[in-house]
């Protein structure tokens, strides 16, 4: 496939908003693709380059891209930046520059989809001192050969943000439709191999190939997630449940096979280099080839430390030796997904637990199995008394469902704090929520100005999302890709577990576990939380954390 054809598909999709129409367009494109083109098309159309399991990064920053655009367009980088700042869309700016340029020269080579992919892969593989120069050269060559429309999508792919609204759910359904296979098989294959590109190749071969998926060590799976719920409901529904402490640290996935060991974070980044001590502990705890799921916590004087100190350690690349002494990192393993070549995600949790206890000698998180509410409540109180966050209640006959926030894992923890915040933006939802807004940008106020503080995407019922959509749909003041901005009118009460210092939002803080509690239609945006009061809450919170860890 030529990259120009891919670009035309993108353009067609960018012009439609209905999910079914999008599925239709994508599914039309897939059957004719060669085995080599298929995975590339599937990832590119979602604005991705690498398989989801891959921690690889392209490493083309905006700066390098702007320089290449300037070169190709024959203008200064500053002019490119200025134009992008005003437009907010790199793709359109590149298109505009290339349109002007092509009025002067017409010479360019046809770009092939796979060739573009190979060149991008080569860029990401490059390291060392000369790499920036070589990257720049390749980007200039690619953009130099692009037509204006190709430039729009090529530049967006280079920033891994295609902005045409095609999410994973859309592509999964398109694959099922294109190759007439069962969508649940597509979803299951995706859970095990974590790369829709390969899933598409298998779907093209047939349902047997989709069923025959294997988990591969060092291809991390997405983490299974939890919902909020109540002890009594879980007991009523399942009779007997498993309860574990809910450790407040960082999620990890530990892979060990053929003598090699690696560790991945919740976002599937490779954090092996940052946690040599934890890896040594886990390595020593089993002689088997395994993939283990768990949470690493920081312990000081026998008590868990606040979450931020663990995070700091995950990010740290230097001074590892020094950090090791200050805080002790302890892994708590609560699941096993792979054992000596065998995929375990589809067997019941109770069976996985048996294997876990059998093959891992240390660091297995204790578990209480009971149908008695008093016993589960005692476990909850013990967890809080020991300084943990609460408990997790798990359904014993449930499979491990990567990436899903289902009802098989329920978290129980004390009530969260709340803030009243103005809704200033949103992103369209996915899947069955594609026709409403799914995640909201919320802001506090500072000297009369609204300052973004967090995104809120959980805690809504379908009814609430529909209600919020009705209230917001006529207040949209601008849109770009899946994002919209609102005239600020609406106030949400947002629950959170902890305030963190963070550069992500303009407020300089971020909320941990932000959660929609309710609409505050009794309040207007002048009555929302101020940045000063958030600062005060933050300092109170860190004081109490210090007191509690000694």
Contact between 471 and ligand AMP (CB under 6 A)? no
Q: Nearest-CA neighbor of 293 among 354, 260, 324, 335?
A: 335
Q: Which of residues 411-470 bind ligand AMP (CB under 6 A)?
A: 411
228: β partners: 411
The size of the interface with ligand AMP (CB under 6 A), counted in residues, is: 13
CA torsion sign, 412 to 414 to 415 to 418?
negative
Contact between 251 and ligand AMP (CB under 6 A)? yes
- Give, in degrees to the nearest 5, the angle at Cα 169 between 166 and 172: 100
246 is catalytic: yes
Burial of 34 (0-12, 13-18, 19+ CB in 10 A): exposed
Report the C-alpha gap between 401 and 389 in whole angstroms. Answer: 23
Of the two residues 64 and 327, which places its CB atom closer to ligand AMP in the complex?
327
Contact 221, 344 (CB under 8 A): no
Contact 433, 493 (CB under 8 A): no
Which stretch in 113-121, 195-203, 244-252, 321-329 sits in contact with ligand AMP by CB under 6 A?
244-252
Q: Which residue has the tokens 């408990």?
A: 391
Report the C-alpha gap between 336 and 281 in whole angstroms. Answer: 16
Of the two residues 77 and 251, which places its CB atom closer to ligand AMP in the complex?
251
Contact 238, 359 (CB under 8 A): no
Least distance from ligand AMP to the Cβ atom of residue 313, Å: 15
Contact between 234 and ligand AMP (CB under 6 A)? no
Q: How far is CA 473 from CA 179, 309, 462, in A?
A: 36, 41, 16
Contact between 498 and ligand AMP (CB under 6 A)? no
Contact between 218 and ligand AMP (CB under 6 A)? no
Contact between 225 and ligand AMP (CB under 6 A)? yes
Least distance from ligand AMP to the Cβ atom of residue 513, Å: 5
Contact between 538 and ligand AMP (CB under 6 A)? no
Contact between 365 and ligand AMP (CB under 6 A)? yes
CB atoms within 10 A of CB 228: 15
Token pair for 93: 């700016």
Q: Which of 101, 135, 204, 246 is catalytic?
A: 246
What three-state secondary structure class fits 284?
A: helix
Of the two residues 64 and 365, which places its CB atom closer to ligand AMP in the complex?
365
Least distance from ligand AMP to the Cβ atom of residue 223, Å: 6
Token pair for 147: 């037509």
Contact between 246 and ligand AMP (CB under 6 A)? yes
Of the two residues 83 and 246, which places its CB atom closer to ligand AMP in the complex?
246
Contact between 392 and ligand AMP (CB under 6 A)? yes
Contact between 263 and ligand AMP (CB under 6 A)? no
In the list 295, 420, 498, 529, the residue contacting ligand AMP (rule: CB under 6 A) is 295
* CA 326 to chain CA centroid, nearest Å: 30
* Contact set with ligand AMP (CB under 6 A): 223, 225-226, 244, 246-247, 251, 295, 334, 365, 392, 411, 513
Question: Active-site positions?
Answer: 246
């Amino acid at each position: 496939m030529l990259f120009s054809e891919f670009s035309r598909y993108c353009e067609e999709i960018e012009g439609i908003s209905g999910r079914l129409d999008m599925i239709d367009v994508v599914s039309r494109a897939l059957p004719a693709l060669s085995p080599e083109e298929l995975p590339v098309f599937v990832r590119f159309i979602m604005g991705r380059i690498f398989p989801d399991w891959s921690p690889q990064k392209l490493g083309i920053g905006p700066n390098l891209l702007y320089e290449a655009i300037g070169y190709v367009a024959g203008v200064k980088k500053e002019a490119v930046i200025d134009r992008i700042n005003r437009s907010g869309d790199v793709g359109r700016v590149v298109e505009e520059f290339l349109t002007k340029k092509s009025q002067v020269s017409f010479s360019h080579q046809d770009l092939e989809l796979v060739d573009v992919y190979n060149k991008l892969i080569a860029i990401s593989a490059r390291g060392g001192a000369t790499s920036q120069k070589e990257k720049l050269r390749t980007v200039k060559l690619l953009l130099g050969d692009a037509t204006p429309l190709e430039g729009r999508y090529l530049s967006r792919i280079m920033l891994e943000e295609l902005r045409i609204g095609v999410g994973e759910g859309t592509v999964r359904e398109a694959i099922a439709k294109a190759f007439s296979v069962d969508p649940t098989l597509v979803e299951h294959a995706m859970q095990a191999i974590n790369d829709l590109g390969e899933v598409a190749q298998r779907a093209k071969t047939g349902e047997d190939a989709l069923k025959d998926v294997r988990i591969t060590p060092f291809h991390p799976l997405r983490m299974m997630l939890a919902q909020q719920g109540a002890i009594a409901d879980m007991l009523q529904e399942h009779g007997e449940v498993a309860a574990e402490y809910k450790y407040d640290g960082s999620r990890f996935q530990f892979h060990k096979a053929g003598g090699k060991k690696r560790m991945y974070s919740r976002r599937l980044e490779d954090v092996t280099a940052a946690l040599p001590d934890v890896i040594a502990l886990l390595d020593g705890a089993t002689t088997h080839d395994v993939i283990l799921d768990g949470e690493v916590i920081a312990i000081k004087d026998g008590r868990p430390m606040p979450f931020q100190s663990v995070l700091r350690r995950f990010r740290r690349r230097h001074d590892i030796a020094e950090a090791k002494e200050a805080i002790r990192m302890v892994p708590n393993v609560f699941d096993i997904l792979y054992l000596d070549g065998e995929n375990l995600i589809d067997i019941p949790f109770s069976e996985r637990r048996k294997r876990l206890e059998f093959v891992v000698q240390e660091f297995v998180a204790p578990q209480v199995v009971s149908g008695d509410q008093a016993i589960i409540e005692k476990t909850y109180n013990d967890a809080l008394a020991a300084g943990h966050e609460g408990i997790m209640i798990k359904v014993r006959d449930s499979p491990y469902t990567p990436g899903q926030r289902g009802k098989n894992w329920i978290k129980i923890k004390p009530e969260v704090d709340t803030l009243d915040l103005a809704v200033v933006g949103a992103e369209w939802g996915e899947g069955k929520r594609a026709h409403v807004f799914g995640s909201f940008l919320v802001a506090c106020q500072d000297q009369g100005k609204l300052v973004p503080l967090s995104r809120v995407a959980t805690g809504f019922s379908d009814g609430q999302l529909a209600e919020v959509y009705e209230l917001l749909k006529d207040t949209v003041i601008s849109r770009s890709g899946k994002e919209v901005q609102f005239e600020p009118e609406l106030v949400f009460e947002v629950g959170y577990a902890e305030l963190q210092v963070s550069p992500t939002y303009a407020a300089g803080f971020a909320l941990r576990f932000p959660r929609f509690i309710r609409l505050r239609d009794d309040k207007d945006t002048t009555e929302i939380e101020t940045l000063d009061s958030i600062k005060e809450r933050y300092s109170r919170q860190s004081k109490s954390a210090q007191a509690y860890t000694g």
